[in-house]
Amino acid sequence: MYLPKTIQKAIEAFNTLPGIGSKTSERFVFYLLHQSKPQLADFASAIASLKDRVTLCERCFNYSDQHPCHVCSDPKRDPQLLCVVAESVDIIALERSHVFRGLYHVLGGLVDPLHGIEPEHLRIRELLSRVMTEGIQEVILAMNPTVEGETSALYLQKLLKQSPIKITRLAKGLPTGSNIEYADELTLASAFEGRRVIH
Ligand SMILES: [Zn+2]
């Protein structure tokens, strides 16, 4: 099918997004072609400014446009509770469920040796330093119930065993192989509330 190069390029750009196939990309591009120039400029600048304004919080490594991020700087949060997640997107899911009032630590992935992701590629050193210096009482390991999630949680559990803090994991309420990111609020809240002590 012939398509002008500019349109083709825009379709290819959308096609690189996770979960977006060619048909959806085409629909997006033709929808955008119907928009006014200022609307398109707003859309483009929202994307272009992502990397200008958003960086990682130096304390928890969540995406933020302020330092420290809005969670770390909120005096109403309990700094004795630390929830460890793989990615920032997991924080969005947990915040939506309103079940947690402590602070977070984003690992930046999960241990996945098959794809070359070893513990040293994640922010584990930073986690240990926070555990040692921030007066944390409980570390909640909130990893996806997947092979990589289990591997990472076991690895952290072993590392943290030497410290006197309490370590908990989310209850088995989340379907095996699923992602925290996609879990509904009630399931996530009950998995969080029913978290089990492992150390
Ligand atoms: Zn933060």
Statement to judge: residues 86 and 181 lie in one domain: yes
What is the model's pLDDT at position 163? Answer: 86
The reply to whether 64 and 47 lie within a common domain is no
Give the distance (Å) from ligand 1 centre to CA of residue 56: 8
Mean pLDDT to the nearest integer, 131-153: 92
- Mark whether 111 and 31 lie in a shared domain: no
pLDDT above 90: residue 144: no
- Residues 49-83 have pLDDT tens digits of 888 889 999 999 999 998 899 999 999 999 999 99
- Asked if 17 and 108 sit in the same domain, the reply is no
Q: Is the pLDDT of residue 190 over 90?
A: no
151 alpha carbon to ligand 1 midpoint, in Å?
Answer: 25
Mean pLDDT across 85-99: 92
Question: How much distance in Å is there from the Cα of 152 to the middle of ligand 1?
Answer: 21
Is the domain of 31 the same as that of 83? no
**Residues β-bridged to residue 141:** 84, 169
Q: Which residues contact 153 (CB under 8 A, 6 or more apart)?
A: 141, 143, 169
- Residues 65 and 131 placed together within one structural domain of the fold: yes
Query: If you average pLDDT over residues 87-95, what whole number do you get?
Result: 93
Domain count, the chain: 2
Position 44 pLDDT exceeds 70:
yes
CA distance 64 to 71: 10
Which residues, in sequence order, are bridge partners of residue 169? 141, 196
- The owner of tokens 């130096």 is 58
Same domain, 9 and 107: no
Residue 1 has pLDDT above 80, yes or no: no
User: How far apart, in whole angstroms, are the C-alpha atoms of residue 24 and residue 30?
Assistant: 10
Q: Which long-range contacts (CB under 8 A, 24 or more apart) does 34-38 make?
A: none
Tokens 């390991």: give the residue.
141
Mean pLDDT estimate for the chain: 91
Q: Which helix (H) or strand (E) covers residue 28, if one does?
A: helix 22-33
pLDDT of residue 7: 96
Answer with the one of 53, 72, 92 that is the final residue of a domain.
53
Q: Based on the domain organization, do 84 and 14 belong to the same domain?
A: no
Share of the chain above pLDDT 90, in %: 68
The string of pLDDT tens digits covering residues 151-177 is 999 999 999 988 889 999 987 767 766
Q: Where is average pLDDT lowest: 22-36, 45-59, 76-90?
A: 45-59
| Residue 70 near residue 51, CB atoms below 8 Å | no
d(CA 90, CA 183): 10
> Does 88 lie in the same domain as 47?
no
Ligand 1 centroid distance, CA of 127 (Å): 12
Q: Which residue range(s) make up the domain with 179?
A: 56-197
CA of 149 to the centre of ligand 1 (A): 22
Q: 8 CA to middle of ligand 1, Å?
A: 39
Q: Position 55: which residue type?
A: T
Instruction: Name residue 99's amino acid.
Output: V
- Whether the predicted pLDDT of 131 surpasses 90: yes
Tokens found for residue 27: 């629909």
Provide mean pLDDT across the span 82-101. Answer: 93
The CATH number that applies at residue 100 is 3.40.1360.10
Contact 80, 102 (CB under 8 A): yes
pLDDT of residue 157: 93
